Each structure stands twice: as structure tokens, then as C-alpha cells.
Chain A
Amino acid sequence: MSVATSARSMLVRASRASSIRSLGSLTAVRSKYTLPDLPYDYGALEPHISGQIMEVHYTKHHQTYVNGINDAQEKFAAASTPAEKVALTSLIKFHGGGHVNHSLFWENLSPANKDGGDPPSGALATAINDSWGSLDNFKGKMNTALAGIQGSGWGWLVKDNTTGKLSIITMPNQDPVNTTQFTPLVGIDAWEHAYYLQYKNVKADYFKAIWNVINWKTAEKRFS
């Protein structure tokens, strides 16, 4: 191969590489995560969840998870060795999990004068009765599970993807529900930031009150 040919083919390779790189950066721009719109105003869940909690929770905490996953994803794309990528997985899981969990959570809520608190109907109501006898009994079990979380975490009503059976699970920190195994129906944030400004250390009152603003229509959609 002559020097000129070899130089030309290097140029071609370089330009192909640069167009792949720019495609890559386009993809990165397109896949940036953003805060989802809230389907209600900050104060709309009062008195059960205060407007101040909702505003800080959404504009500060959730935003931090969104920024964190975007930042970690950028670093992951730029990392050149497997070791560097592995070192980033904990950040990706934490911030990505925070983004996923909060996005599901906002849709689980609705003002009490809209759908909030209206009991589930149809197949989901039947499934809850089959598993726990009644909706109230289920709520009691879920609240016990939430109160038992040792640290930060979430409680979930989930459907098993294989058996279709309902169960209550808790997840530590921002670990997301394993969606290969389960479909998350209702998630309740048990981090202190979710209730502290209003309920302080009396988290049991928060767990009791939140059922007044749970949107069971969302859960029904996820169930079917």
C-alpha cells in the first residue's frame, strides 16, 4: 500500500470515526433524562402532603437524581476501561433508581378531591381482597412494612409477572423494583425527606394519611 493510499484510508477512517462520535453525542443529548411534569399542583395534595414537601421533593430531590443519572451516564460513556465503568455502576443505580422511583411515585398520587383515595375497582380490587381480605387490611400490612424499613427506602405493592400474585415488598435506599420479576403498582416513599417537614419523627401518621391521596386508577392501569 502506497503512503498516499494509506494516508487516504486513515483519513476516511478518521472521518468515519468522527461521524460515529457525533452520532454518539447526538444520542447522548437525546437520551438526557428530564423531570416529568407533575400531574397536579404542589399544594393539591394538602392537607395530607404539604405543598412545601411536594415542591422541595420534586424540584430539589428528584431534580438531583435526574442530574445525577445524566452526569453518571456521561461519565460512563466517556470511561475507557471496564474498571472505570464498573466504578460508576453504584452511582447509576442510585440516581437512576431515584429517577425511576420518583417518576412512578408522582403518578401514584392524586388530590383527594379528584381520584385520590378512591378505592380500586375491578380485577385489582378482587386481587387485593384475595390476598389480604380487604383493602383496609392490605393498607395495615403495607404500613407495617413501611414502618419497619431500617433507614431510607420504599414500600411497594407489586404484581408477580409470572404468577400474577400481589405482594408487598420494601427496597432499601433508591434500589428500584426488579421489573423482570415484578410490576410495581403502588410505591410509597419512606425516605425522611418525603414527610419530615410535616410529620417529623411521627412517620406512622404520614403512612396513614397518604392513602387519602393514592391514585388507584394508576395502579389499575399498571395491573392490567
Chain B
Amino acid sequence: MELHHSKHHAAYVANLNKAISSPTSANTQSLIHFNGGGHINHSIFWNNLTPASSPEAAKSAAPTLMQAIEKKFGSFEDFQAKFGAMLLGIQGSGWGWLVLKQGAELDIVTTRDQDIITDGATALIGVDMWEHAYYLQYLNGKAAYVENIWNIINWKYAETRLKGDVQGEFKELKAML
């Protein structure tokens, strides 16, 4: 957590600011896209997590979302299994997301590298599948990382995002990506 936040996320922020303030190199747009995406994705991710003992980690903190999950995936366990399989199927660096698509339907999708959720969809829960997110603790055992992260998901935050209280976040930055 310390390295991930104080080094990796900090590097995305520093490199984003650098690319914006001196947009001279031929690949400035690519640098803004990559580092801006890294900043947005990690900002959502930290809020997606909470200590396992906190009330926000209980699924009961997200009654509306739970209902929507059951409606879309049949059961919470089916959703978990499907999401887990998708996370483990990522070929390279990337993220897995539970999103609310336009039209108010849930879906699970993956994005590569630091690409963000777009097309009017709202990211509810993001899971970082870059190796730096788990390697020091789990080495190549990413299945255990995926299994354990369920214990620290902030369901209350996901419920808030579902209810649309996050429209407009990073609006200016997203427009630059």
C-alpha cells in the first residue's frame, strides 16, 4: 500500500503534471493519457478499499447495488466468480471494473494499462491488476490477491457511486486524455 500510493500513484501525478506543463515532446498526448489515466484509476481505487473490520466493508452497506448485482448476475457468488475470472484473464497490465453502463445496467469490463472507463459508463469498483498491486505479497499468486481483495471492498462507496454522486469527477482531466 505504501509503495503503491507514495511511489506509483505519485509518479503518475508527477509525470502528468510534467506532461501538461511542458507539452513539447512528440508523445505528450500519450503521456497525458497514460499518466492521467493512472491518476484517475488509482484515485477511485483507494476509495474502493476499506479496512475489513469497518462497517463499509459489509455488503449490507450497499443494498441497492446488491439487488442490482443479483438481478444482473443471478447471485453475488456468480458475480464474484465471473469478475474473478475476468481479472485473472487480463493479459498484461490492466484493471477490472464493475461499471454502471448508460441505460442503468451493470457490467464487468477490463481496461488495459491505465486506460479509464469511458463511454458514459460509471466505474463502481476497480481492481488494479498491475503486478505492482500485489507482487510483494503474493508473487505470481494473483488468484489469492483477487480472492482476498473481496474482504476489503468499500461497499458503501460503491453504493454512493451507483447512486450517481460522482458525475463530473475529473471532468477536465478526462477531457484531456
Which bucket holds chain A's interface residue count? 20 to 34
Flag if B11 contacts A201 (CB, 8 Å). yes
Are B92 and A151 interface neighbours, CB within 8 A?
Answer: yes
Contact of B140 among A56, A94, A150 (CB under 8 A): A56
A residues 71-115 in Cβ contact with B at 8 Å: 90, 94
A192 within 8 A of B: yes
The listed residue (B91, B92, B113, B136) touching A196 by CB distance below 8 A is B136
> For residues 45 through 96 of chain B, which have their beta carbon under 8 Å from a beta carbon of chain A?
91-94
Listed stretches B102-110, B127-135, B150-158, B160-168; interface member: B127-135
Nearest residue (CB) in A for B11 is A201
* Cα–Cα distance between A172 and B11 once the two chains are bound (Å): 21
Tell me which of A94, A150, A174, A197 contacts B113 (CB under 8 A). A150
Count how many chain B residues have C-beta atoms less than 8 Å from C-beta atoms of the other chain. Answer: 21
> Are A151 and B139 in touch, CB under 8 angstroms?
no
Contact yes or no, A56 B131, CB < 8 A: no
Residues of chain A contacted by B139 (CB below 8 angstroms):
56, 60, 197
How far does the Cβ of B127 sit from chain A's closest Cβ, in whole Å? Answer: 16
B8 sits at the interface (CB 8 A): yes
Given the interface contacts A151-B93, A151-B113, A174-B92, does A193 sit within 8 Å of B140 by beta carbon? yes
Interface residues of B (CB under 8 A from A): 3, 7-8, 11, 27, 30, 34, 91-94, 112-114, 130-132, 135-136, 139-140
